[in-house]
Amino acid sequence: MDAFTKWESEIRGYCRLYPTVFKSASNARQVDENGKSYVDFFAGAGVLNFGHNNPRMKEKLIEFIQNDGIAHGLDMHTTAKREFIERFAATILEPRGWDYKMMFMGPTGTNAVESALKLARKVTGRQTVVAYTSGFHGMTLGSLAATANSYFRNAAGVPLNHILRQPYGCEKPCIGCTLGCGMDSVERLRAEYEDSSSGLEPPAAFLVEAIQAEGGVHVASAEWLQAVEKLAKDLGALFIVDDIQAGCGRTGNYFSFDGMGLDPDIITLAKGIGGFGTPLAMNLAKPEHDKHWLPGEHTGTFRGQGLSFVAGVEALRYFDDDELMNDVKRKGEEMQSQLQAIVDSYPDHTFQVRGKGMMQAIDLGDGALVKAIAARCFENGTLLGGCGTGGCTIKLIPPLTIPDADLQEGLNTLREAIATEIGEAKAA
């Protein structure tokens, strides 16, 4: 590991949690250079919904490379891009009766959020964006302003402005939380906007995740999301759903908010849409907003990635029928019930299970404990990590395609690691 220590920046993070060198991967398994195989409950931070080295994608990628496909096309028209656009429209948009425009930008989630905020500000001529406690939206200055976590915010070095922070609308309150989440907060905010002596200017947009992934797997209620959308529309503000980590099938539907009766003005997507771990980001924006863009006003060198389009098309095929999504629901319920059983076996602790579909989490309320459990899981062959405030919550986001046996092995490893660490903590 010398090369990393000698030459790589001190900012490196996950490699400190997983002190080995990985060499290959397949579906829900990562293998290090010593041949040790790990169950992957992390899936590249939610990117690898369809598994590492998905065989259908491998085949198409190799064929594309061999045929000299356009790997890098800026925003020129390419056949690969056309196929992706047509497939996305046919599979995702048209069945929902939607006419969103697809916008490609620099291929990372933060670029998607930055361009969504630009568009909302252009459309409304306003500056402030409402964002939520525990929200995560990226690391560049525009999206970082909307991100809540102070660990990331403190690195900005300049003030992060033009954001109004509000409590998030969890469907069930987190243990000990007194942030005043839920429906009341939307009504309080409405009252403030309606009062010209409240000191608030009307906002450009409300930026919300239907499920906060990095922020600790907080699941918003449909009722609250509807209320936020209604407030946004009443104020002439855009309603933006950031579905970068929770979208692309993770929760048992393509979008994390499917079936809630929402009608977002902009939807941000990244992570999973490139399919293979190949970078891609895309916003869906209503045509009446999208038309405010001038050509090339927001650019990004890598906004037309051929490999991502090719693998992304294969990813979309999983949504041609309900097989994968039904499987996600089934496995998600299995995960949740096993996690709940763990919680129930510690009646003296105030643990909590939260999640939807195959994003499930167990909140232990103790970041050091989570760290110890993750280290033990790594040792015992399962990759997982913490999230949320102080890293108190273990987040499980395996590939959606994980075999049942791997899923069970990972859950067993986790159950045992918790038992050991809590035993050790008691003994200490």
**Residue 266 is a binding residue for a second copy (CB under 8 A):** no
The count of residues interacting with a second copy (CB under 8 A) is 151
**Residue 149 is a binding residue for a second copy (CB under 8 A):** yes
Distances (CA, A) of 203 to 33, 199, 210: 51, 12, 20
- State the Cα–Cα distance between residues 389 and 179, nearest whole angstrom: 13
Angle made by CA atoms 258, 264, 266, in degrees to the nearest 5: 115
Spatial CB neighbours of 291, under 8 Å, sequence gap ≥ 6: none
Residues 108-137 touching a second copy, rule: CB under 8 A, are 108-111, 114-115, 117-118, 120-122, 127, 131-135
Q: Which is nearer to a second copy, 69 or 264 (CB)?
A: 69
Q: Which stretch binds a second copy (CB under 8 A): 106-114, 252-260, 341-349, 410-418?
A: 106-114
Name the minimum Å distance from CB 152 to a second copy: 7
**Strand partners of residue 26:** 29
Name the minimum Å distance from CB 182 to a second copy: 11
> Which position among 188, 261, 322, 405 is part of the footprint of a second copy (CB under 8 A)?
188
Give me Rg for the CA atoms of the chain.
21
Q: Which is nearer to a second copy, 87 or 422 (CB)?
A: 87
**Residue 190 is a binding residue for a second copy (CB under 8 A):** yes
Q: Which of 264, 256, 196 is nearest to 230 (CA)?
A: 264
- State the Cα–Cα distance between residues 316 and 49, nearest whole angstrom: 11
Cα torsion 86, 90, 96, 97: sign: positive
**Residue 348 is a binding residue for a second copy (CB under 8 A):** no
Name the minimum Å distance from CB 219 to a second copy: 16
Helix segments in 383-403, DSSP class H = none
Residues 16-75 touching a second copy, rule: CB under 8 A, are 16, 18-26, 30, 33, 44-48, 52-53, 58, 61-62, 65-75
Residues 385-424 touching a second copy, rule: CB under 8 A, are 388-390
Q: Which is nearer to a second copy, 277 or 410 (CB)?
A: 277
**Residue 288 is a binding residue for a second copy (CB under 8 A):** no
**Residue 152 is a binding residue for a second copy (CB under 8 A):** yes
| Phi, psi (rounded to 5 degrees) for 219 | -105, 120
Name the minimum Å distance from CB 74 to a second copy: 5
Spatial CB neighbours of 127, under 8 Å, sequence gap ≥ 6: 121, 162, 201, 204
